[in-house]
Structure 1
């Protein structure tokens, strides 16, 4: 019997019991499906090491147990990362980010009224922090073209949003981060 035939037989005989095993150990049913898929992926990759049929079921449970442990560790890492990001956002925004919603909407509305290239040049240089030469590489144009577009786009943006950018750190001020007084 080929490895593929044997794998199919082991899969058919153990899929439901492994799915039930995983469902009892995860919070989301989608996660259980991922655990079972990963378990059988390991089994496929290590088919030559899989014990005889009677022991294959127990071996699969062992693989599933390790996959579940990895799944839970990854979830804990994601949770810790999410908490760190939430903390950074609270610190960076200085409190309630909801207070900035009108300004954010005004900036997004103004951006939507710009041409595609102007909008992309502004977003790459101000939001992504790229230098004009770097934005040029991303866009596949010359650095001179990006500088020209950037100057025009800033001017159009000021026309759409207005010159009153509010106090430093204000959301609308994002458009003037790199602009010098002579550029205004």
Structure 2
């Protein structure tokens, strides 16, 4: 019997039981489907490790149990992250739509090279060393690029907010 045939036999024999196991332990059909998919993906990858006969179902129950535990840990981590983000956002001064539009327009005026390093630093939270790995080069070069991009963004913001100063009319 080929590995594919063996997997299909295991799947056909055990799917109903694994479906019921997952459905009784999850809160939504999507979560149930995720548990089933992950369980049988593990079985496919490790088909040679799946025991014969009735023990195959017990092995799959063990896999499904671990998948559910990982799913719960992920949900706890996501909830903690969401709470932390809510607290951080509540502590910040709200940005007005006008301010946001000025920043967005100034950002869009920058060359692609500047936008790239600013996005990696600000949106992705990368350090100069990490930016260097992403864009290639040294950490010193990335730090220099980031400094210059920030300076150009500040100048663009100043020019957009106070055009008379930028044009030397003050």
Q: TM-score, normalised by structure 2?
A: 0.66
Indicate if the aligned counterparts of 1:122 and 1:153 stay in contact, CA closer than 8 A. Answer: no
1:36 maps to 36
Say yes or no: does 1:82 pair with 2:78. no
Indicate if the aligned counterparts of 1:110 and 1:161 stay in contact, CA closer than 8 A. Answer: no
- For residues 67 and 155 of structure 1, the distance between their equivalents in structure 2, rounded to whole angstroms, comes to 51
Which is further off, 29-38 or 42-51? 42-51
**SS of the residue aligned with 1:52?**
coil
1:59 maps to 59
2:110 maps to 114
**What is the CA distance between 1:83 and its match in structure 2?**
1.4
**SS of the residue aligned with 2:25?**
coil
2:100 maps to 104
Which is further off, 5-14 or 16-25? 16-25
Q: TM-score, normalised by structure 1?
A: 0.62
Summarize the alignment of residues 158-173 of structure 1 with structure 2, pairs less than 5 Å apart.
Answer: 158-162=158-162
Provide closer, same or farther for how the CA distance between residues 123 and 62 of structure 1 changes in structure 2, counting only shifts above 3 A: closer
- For residues 155 and 105 of structure 2, the distance between their equivalents in structure 1, rounded to whole angstroms, comes to 16
Coordinate RMSD, CA, aligned: 3.7
1:22 maps to 22
Give the number of equivalent residue pairs. Answer: 158
Return 5+ residue gaps in structure 1 as ranges: 164-184
- For residues 5 and 75 of structure 2, the distance between their equivalents in structure 1, rounded to whole angstroms, comes to 35
